Structure 1
Amino acid sequence: MSDLQNDTKDASDDKKQREHELQTFLRQDLVEIESEYERIYSRSTEDPGTAGDEGEENWKALLEQWLPNSYKVVTKGRIIGVDGKASPQVDVIVLRPSYPERLLNKKLYLVHGVAAVFECKTTVTAKHIREATETAAKISALSGPRTGTPYRELTSPPLYGLLAHSHSWKKEGSTPRENIDEYLTEGQQQAKHPRDLINVVCVADLAIWELGIMPYMGGIYSGVEWRGQNNLYGLPEEGGALTMYQRWHEDSGQPEANPLAVLIAMLFQRLGWEDPELRPLADYFRLAGLQGASQAMTHPWPLFDVYTPDLAAQLQAGALVNGSAWNEWTMYLP
């Protein structure tokens, strides 16, 4: 083999192995978050309040650096619905580009002007996760239900999530990922509707859990086999929706995902459903592999428990489309 052929082969191998720059930048962010945790934790017993505030500022800075400048990120406030009811205080709030300048410094934020809401913890515990699943339903109620498409009826902006630097399950033999799996499964079982579920839990030094939805599983898509399959999915004969929390799994055969990379990709993807300006970058992050491999814990939702009658009938008639990005009738929703 000639020197030129060797050089070409080496260059090709380097290209295959080279890490995408986006992954490099987000790995740098992950190192910074982990370093900040060590610094904050070392003084947390002296002043837990300040430690919590510093943790929130870390997440605020990360979101500001990745989201477009038109999205304002604020800390410490409540979300207010059109009926005047307000949420509990939340830690970090991402405002839509259209949010009125006059109201930016007011600590009651109009729900339809809010893109995302996050609770932030330096060291997350079981109590934090359970409280967050309860707050998710309260914030969803402020926005209220929507109708017309599977996407609109199954989701209720703003996006709501829990962000943490680290976790409390560090004794030998502890199973932190499995613990969080369990708490999120409890949340799915206790929720009254998919739109009430927490959208994301990100623990920077552990993993990230993302909510995904299959709008309809039923006979129109499974044919004669559905009569047995419906029991497998825990659905009635008329079918229904499935929700799932997805995370990287040890048996996936894929490299462990950077939780921050998956978080940023997910955030653009979810916000892109409400803001088409974000969709080109959301597609880029997905195609660049930021989302990572995952396995899921599913939960069934009977058809007529989650949809209006007209929409349920359309789904039973085969209205979903396969492989169509940004279509509110697609077979999989983030």
Structure 2
Amino acid sequence: MTWSIQTLLSELHDDIQDRLARARKAFGHPGTKGDASESVWLELLETYLPQRYQATSAHVVDSDGTFSEQIDVVVFDRQYSPFIFNFQGQKVIPAESVYGVFEAKQSINAEQVAYARKKVASVRRLHRTSLPIPHAGGTYPAKPLQHIIGGLLTLESDWSPGLGEPLTNALATVGSDDRLDLGCVAAHGIFSCDDDGCGTLKPFGKPATAFLFELIARLQEKATVPMIDVRAYARWLDVDLPA
């Protein structure tokens, strides 16, 4: 048998694209299609991200008691996260533990971009704590809060070409709260935005694999999440439950 890394990387993308396409064809109800697509992206990240990261569908909460909207794909730290809530089959993750949030849809268009931006902003606007970090020789200063990666994951594009000017216009933003930093349109390519704008569109031949690698690279740059102030959450233990 002759090994080929090119074949391995191509097969990874082809598997993701084929599964997304099957989900689109097999299920008639839009909600069921969406759940199936979400599961494909979550399985990709759970399988290939380093084990210090996890990916799940969840709400995000801060120590002020504010919740984000429901997010299709939350990439979060599990090694240093002191708690993850599970309630009635739903996960709730503290804001400090979050590295990235993504919406998973069948197709990208202006409406879905606006929807994803709203979801991403609901996470970025949450309050996050960061404590000084003790070590053997003293204490490191509190880590500055990092930018939470936000994005959109789809199979197809409603535009022609799939990654053209209409997408660039839809991604354009004046602030960072609702910016979509990274996304994948599995049938066409990936897009990437930064402080200089959202004009970088990459029509890779194997977009799902390219997205995975770019996400891992960005996670590596962020290193670890800030040290969470657990006592800021514990103060809610003294608050009476609503009647």
Q: Same fold (TM over 0.5)?
A: yes
| Greater relative contact order, per chain length (Cα 8 Å cut-off, separation 6+) | 2
**SS of equivalent to 2:155:** strand
**Aligned position for 2:239:** none
**Aligned position for 1:218:** none
Cα deviation, residue 90, structure 1? 0.9
Match of 2:202, as an amino acid? Answer: W
**Aligned position for 1:122:** 106
Say whether 1:246 aligns with 2:204.
Answer: no
Measure the CA separation in 2 of the matches of 1:258 and 1:271.
20
Which of the residues 171, 184, 193 maps onto 1:184? Answer: 171
Which of the residues 28, 35, 38 maps onto 2:11? Answer: 28
Cα deviation, residue 101, structure 1? 5.4
**Aligned position for 2:70:** 89
* Paired residues of 1:177 and 1:207 also in contact (CA < 8 A): yes
Match of 1:160, as an amino acid? Answer: G
Say whether 1:166 aligns with 2:168.
Answer: no
Rg larger in structure: 1
Measure the CA separation in 1 of the matches of 2:84 and 2:205.
40
Cα deviation, residue 123, structure 1? 2.2
**Aligned position for 1:71:** 53
**Aligned position for 1:156:** 147
Measure the CA separation in 1 of the matches of 2:169 and 2:46.
32
Identify unmatched segments of 5+ residues in structure 2. Answer: 131-143, 225-243
Match of 1:80, as an amino acid? Answer: V
Which structure features the higher share of helix residues?
A: 1
Identify unmatched segments of 5+ residues in structure 1. Answer: 1-18, 147-151, 214-241, 250-255, 277-334
Cα deviation, residue 245, structure 1? 4.0
Residue pairs, 1:181-260, within 5 angstroms: 181-185=168-172, 188-189=173-174, 191=175, 194=176, 196-213=178-195, 242-248=196-202, 256-260=204-208
**Aligned position for 1:41:** 24
**Aligned position for 1:273:** 221
Cα deviation, residue 33, structure 1? 1.9
Equivalenced residue count is 206
The 1:264/1:42 distance shift into structure 2, 3 A limit, reads closer
**SS of equivalent to 2:41:** helix
Measure the CA separation in 2 of the matches of 1:110 and 1:265.
26
Measure the CA separation in 1 of the matches of 2:177 and 2:109.
24
Which structure features the higher share of strand residues?
A: 2
The 1:168/1:145 distance shift into structure 2, 3 A limit, reads farther
Residue pairs, 1:107-118, within 5 angstroms: 107-118=91-102
TM, length-normalised to structure 2: 0.73
Q: Structure 1, residues 205-256: CA drift from partner, whole Å, max 9, x if none?
A: 111111234xxxxxxxxxxxxxxxxxxxxxxxxxxxx34442226xxxxxx4
RMSD across aligned C-alpha pairs, in angstroms?
2.8
Query: Runs in 1 of length 4+ with deviation above 4 angstroms?
Result: 143-146
The 1:144/1:95 distance shift into structure 2, 3 A limit, reads closer
Q: Structure 1, residues 130-183: CA drift from partner, whole Å, max 9, x if none?
A: 11123333321114699xxxxx58x522x21111122233xxxx3331221121
